Each structure stands twice: as structure tokens, then as C-alpha cells.
A = this chain, B = another copy of it.
Amino acid sequence: MRKQSFIILLSLLLIQQVTAQSPELLTIRKYANKNAGNIINEFTEFLSLPNVAADTVGQQKNAAFIMDMMKKRGIQKVQLLPASTAGVPPAVYGEVMVPGAKKTLVFYAHYDGQPVNPSQWAAGLSPFQPKLFSNAMDRGGTNMPFPPDGSYDNEWRIYARGAADDKAGVDAILNAYDAINKSNMIPGCNLKFFFEGEEEAGSTHLNEILEKHRSLLGSDLWIICDGPVHQSGKRQIVLGVRGDTRLDLTVYASKRPLHSGHYGNWAPNPAMMLVKLLASMKDDNGRVTIKGFYDDVTPLTTAERKALAEVPSVDEQMKKELGIKGVDMQGLTLSEAINQPSLNINGMQSGNVGTQSSNQIPTYAAAAIDLRLVLGNDWKRQQQKLVDHIKAQGYYVTAKDPTDEERTNYSKIIKIVPKNDGYNAQRADMELPIVQEVIAGVKSISSNRVVLQPTMGGSLPLFIFEKYLAAKTVTVPVANHDNNQHAENENIRIGNLFDGIETMGALMLIK
């Protein structure tokens, strides 16, 4: 049962911030509002299917559910795209070819979620039993029944694993198409749908899937519908990601732990050696002092610099939220800082601390480091700069624990082990016509509510799309920034889900 009053209410809530929209967008919004009850019913059914990537049976059910969703909506060529490797969750594919269309967009989301530890979820919550709350729990929201009349408020939340990351993406995409189709409109371009089932497990077989099914996947642009909108709550278009590479460092001293009394001052202390080494890597303004660290950086274009300047500041809001006063790179905003390569200490260990500590000189000191990369950086070259810096501090570098001979020959010995293959940053050119059209598409909803980010701080292997398909990507997220992504109590804000339908719809109308 849908009430007229609900439509008016929801229209008010959702539309009141909108300034000037096309009739098509208004139609999409109206359709979504009118069908909110059905949309949420289907969504909660979807969220009830456990979706951890390693759960093969669970993932088959999710993939089958998505195929049904697509078939119901009249999408063509609905099929699974398996990897070459057996037992891997397949991608789910479908397409809508539009006669006379000049462009093809692929809409990407992933249906797998992060592993769950149900015991860490709040009392009354279970990862695969979606619950409705009157607001975020940490803002005093309480559990409430799903309304039988389908009247939803923007501030309400649904708690479940995958609610935000990234079944909300699947749902926003498929309901956007549904709204266009059921409203007797025609998309502006050819649409392809690609839903991955292994993203949270590292997209380990995405390369195989793309290679094997390349012939299906030709496009002008991939729209990556994943991640949160801006912390300010505004819609966000992200044109790139930072690259990443990680290394383990171990500095060695005496072969056996020494009594700090009998040998302190004389025997080298590996923890002190390591802190001196790490401290040499950054200055007091937070700038990395490794030679050439910033040299390869591709400068931001005028358009990107302009976009960056227009990103609303969330720095004070985030400082309050995180309980910090100062920042790392002096004088840079969060948006500016993530457009620079970074060197982060992820972890550090030597001897013991607290009640476990003893008055010893430890035998080694270890650190885990990650280097974030921006456009222009090459992950191997960036690693090499770090290694060269360490050598310049007088270290003998080895890839293994030192031999007795090495110990005799060198007073400063470090083991450096790259943790994995790194990957480079990726950034779509903001001035490419297709990218401009995406920007215009999202802005067509509300130009003063769109944040344009040249890059996000985190890293995604978007280079895979470039490498295996020569494809371009733009990320257009829909989830609220406080969605507890990857953690317990994951949730989607209702308003974000419906904004997402509208946003995806706007992109499908691009001609």
C-alpha cells in the first residue's frame, strides 16, 4: 500500500535540495520514490544472502539473485563470466544495446563483502539479517520495523554486511535502469553491467575474467560504483586512485638478546638504529626526504587544480571525529595531501613493551612500510628510491637474514623484503569528452552538490582495466562516508541509496 502523502513527504525530503533538473531525472526520482517499498524489499532479500568471497555456495546464490534481478528488468545477454581458474566467484554480466547510441558505458559494482565476525556486531544485529534503524546507531538510531506502506525517510539506515559495500552499488545501478525502462525512457548510450564477486578478496582473478571475456567488454568508460561519497555528504566523482607498494624492513644487531646493563652503550641497539633510519625519511613538516621522492609526480592539470580547490573542506570535521589536532604534511588539506605520494609506517616492533618488556637490547627491529603512489610514480622506481636512501645511510642491504660473514663485514645490516608486487596510480583525464559528460551528468542533478576528486587516497587495482582492456575508469560512489565499510555494523543511509539510483540514472542518460 502506497499513500499519496508518502510520495509528497519523500519528494520533499529528496527533492528539496535539488535546484534545476531535467524532466528525465525528475521522472527517475519519482519512479524510485513511488517504488521505494518494492526496491527495499528486494534489497533486504539480496542482503540476506551471505556474500563472503570464499563462500562458494553463498556466492552462487548471490550471482543467481542478480541474474534474476537483471532478467526481471529486461536486460539482455544475462550470463555468468567465470574466470579461467575453477571455483572462483564469477562476474555477472548483462547489457542493453540502444539503437543509434554512440557510446558504451560499463557499470561496475561488486556483490561480495568483507569477511564477518558476528560477535563484533552490536547486540541485536546479525550481518545477514538486515535491520532498519531510525538513524545511525552512534547518533542514537534505534531499531524499527520496515514500514508496510513503503514510506522511508532519508536518514534511516539499513544495517547488514554489504549494505553499503557494495550491494548498494548493484542496487543503485539496476534500479536506475529499471526506472528509465519502466518510465518508457531510453538510455542515451549502450549499457553494460559487470558485477564482480571477488573484490574484497583482492580481485585476484579479475584479470582472467577480463581477458577471457574481452570481446563482451568493449566500452568508452567504466563507471566504478563503489566506496563512499564525500565526507561532507555531497555526491562525488573520483577520477583516480593512488598506487601502492609495501615493504618489510628488519635491522639486525647482536645475535642473542643482551642485558641492557652489561652491554648498554656498547652493543648496538637495533631499535635505536631503526628509529634513526625511519626518522631520516621524513622532515618535521611531514615531507619525505628520500631523494627524488616527489620527482616523478605528474602535476595536476589546471582543471584538476581547480577541482581540488573546490573540494569542500572536511579537515576540521575529521580532526574532531578522529581526536587529532595536528596534521602530518604541514599546510596541506586532506584533499591536497592525498594527491602526493606518501610513506607510511604501518607497523613497528622490537623486543617487547609494557608488562612484557625486559631490560634487554633486542636482536632486531622490524618495520612495515607502505608507499602510496600518485600519477607519474612507478612502484618499482619508488621502492628503489627508498632502498637507495637506506644505502646512503650506510646500510648493507640483503634480502635474507644476515650470515656470520655479513655480520663480520658490515656494522649496519638491513633486510628489505617487498611484501607484494605493487601497482601504479591511475587517473582519468578530467578533460576527456567522455569524462566531461560524466561530470555533467552527475552535476545535472545538482551542480552545487558534486565533489570532483582528481584522486582518492586509497588504492584500487584499476590499472587492471587499463592493462587488460585498455579501458578508462571513473569512480562514482553512492554510500554514506560513515558506512563502517570493512568493519562491523556496516550500514547504508536510505537517502544515499536513492540518491545513488538518481546518479546512476543520470549517467545512463549520457548520449
User: Which of A's residues lie within 8 Å of B, judged by CB?
Assistant: 242, 244, 246, 248, 253-256, 258-269, 271-272, 274-276, 278-280, 282, 284, 286, 315, 320, 322-329, 332-334, 337-338, 340, 342, 344-354, 356-362, 365-368, 370, 372, 402, 404, 407-412, 419, 456-459
Q: Do residues B346 and A360 form an inter-chain contact, with CB atoms below 8 A?
A: yes
Distance between Cα atoms of A376 and B316 in the complex (Å): 50
Complex interface: chain B residues within 8 A of A286 (CB): 265
| Stoichiometry, copies per complex | 2
Q: How far is the CB of A273 from chain B (nearest CB, A)?
A: 9
Complex interface: chain B residues within 8 A of A362 (CB): 345-347
5 contacts between A and B (CB under 8 A): A244-B261, A260-B370, A261-B458, A266-B327, A271-B345
Q: Do residues B346 and A260 form an inter-chain contact, with CB atoms below 8 A?
A: yes
Given contacts A265-B328, A268-B324, A324-B254, contact A351 B348 (CB under 8 A): yes
Q: Do residues B282 and A323 form an inter-chain contact, with CB atoms below 8 A?
A: no
Which residue from B280, B328, B419 sits with its C-beta under 8 Å from A266? B328
Distance between Cα atoms of A322 and B274 in the complex (Å): 19
Which residue from B265, B315, B320, B361 sits with its C-beta under 8 Å from A332? B265
Q: Do residues A348 and B353 form an inter-chain contact, with CB atoms below 8 A?
A: yes
Distance between Cα atoms of A279 and B278 in the complex (Å): 9
Q: Do residues A337 and B368 form an inter-chain contact, with CB atoms below 8 A?
A: no
Which residue from B329, B349, B370 sits with its C-beta under 8 Å from A349? B349
Q: Do residues B267 and A324 form an inter-chain contact, with CB atoms below 8 A?
A: yes
Q: Do residues B325 and A408 form an inter-chain contact, with CB atoms below 8 A?
A: yes
Distance between Cα atoms of A359 and B408 in the complex (Å): 35
Q: Do residues A458 and B328 form an inter-chain contact, with CB atoms below 8 A?
A: no
Complex interface: chain B residues within 8 A of A271 (CB): 278, 345, 347-348, 367
Distance between Cα atoms of A354 and B246 in the complex (Å): 11
Q: Do residues B269 and A344 form an inter-chain contact, with CB atoms below 8 A?
A: yes
Q: Do residues B342 and A262 form an inter-chain contact, with CB atoms below 8 A?
A: no
Distance between Cα atoms of A340 and B329 in the complex (Å): 39
Distance between Cα atoms of A460 and B473 in the complex (Å): 67
7 pairs of A and B residues whose beta carbons are closest in the complex: A326-B411, A347-B351, A261-B458, A357-B368, A279-B279, A271-B345, A265-B337
Complex interface: chain B residues within 8 A of A260 (CB): 342, 344, 346, 370, 372
Which residue from B242, B266, B276, B284 sits with its C-beta under 8 Å from A338? B266
Q: Do residues A322 and B267 form an inter-chain contact, with CB atoms below 8 A?
A: yes
Given contacts A272-B278, A275-B274, A407-B323, contact A265 B338 (CB under 8 A): yes
Complex interface: chain B residues within 8 A of A359 (CB): 244, 246, 344, 346, 370
- By CB atoms of chain B within 10 A, which of A275, A279, A367, A419 has the most? A275
Which residue from B261, B347, B412 sits with its C-beta under 8 Å from A350? B347
Given contacts A258-B322, A338-B266, contact A272 B409 (CB under 8 A): no
Q: Do residues B244 and A325 form an inter-chain contact, with CB atoms below 8 A?
A: no
Q: Do residues A342 and B264 form an inter-chain contact, with CB atoms below 8 A?
A: yes
Distance between Cα atoms of A358 and B459 in the complex (Å): 13
- By CB atoms of chain B within 10 A, which of A242, A271, A280, A327 has the most? A271
Q: How far is the CB of A457 from chain B (nearest CB, A)?
A: 4
Distance between Cα atoms of A368 and B412 in the complex (Å): 23
Q: Do residues A353 and B368 form an inter-chain contact, with CB atoms below 8 A?
A: yes
Distance between Cα atoms of A264 and B458 in the complex (Å): 9
Q: Do residues A411 and B325 form an inter-chain contact, with CB atoms below 8 A?
A: yes
Q: Do residues B458 and A262 form an inter-chain contact, with CB atoms below 8 A?
A: yes
Q: Do residues B348 and A350 form an inter-chain contact, with CB atoms below 8 A?
A: yes
Q: Do residues A352 and B347 form an inter-chain contact, with CB atoms below 8 A?
A: yes
Q: What residue in chain B is nearest A393 (Cβ atoms)?
A: B284
Q: Do residues B327 and A264 form an inter-chain contact, with CB atoms below 8 A?
A: no
Q: Do residues A407 and B344 form an inter-chain contact, with CB atoms below 8 A?
A: no
Q: What residue in chain B is nearest A404 (Cβ atoms)?
A: B323
Given contacts A261-B458, A344-B361, A347-B353, contact A269 B370 (CB under 8 A): no
Q: A264-B344, A266-B328 are in contact. List 15 more A-B contacts (CB 8 A).
A: A248-B354, A254-B323, A256-B322, A260-B370, A260-B372, A261-B458, A276-B279, A276-B282, A278-B279, A279-B280, A325-B409, A345-B351, A346-B352, A347-B357, A353-B367
Complex interface: chain B residues within 8 A of A244 (CB): 261, 359
Distance between Cα atoms of A39 and B88 in the complex (Å): 74
Complex interface: chain B residues within 8 A of A411 (CB): 324-326
Distance between Cα atoms of A259 and B165 in the complex (Å): 15
Given contacts A259-B457, A276-B279, A324-B407, contact A349 B348 (CB under 8 A): yes
- By CB atoms of chain B within 10 A, which of A256, A323, A326, A361 has the most? A323
Q: Do residues B265 and A340 form an inter-chain contact, with CB atoms below 8 A?
A: yes
Given contacts A246-B359, A272-B345, contact A264 B408 (CB under 8 A): no
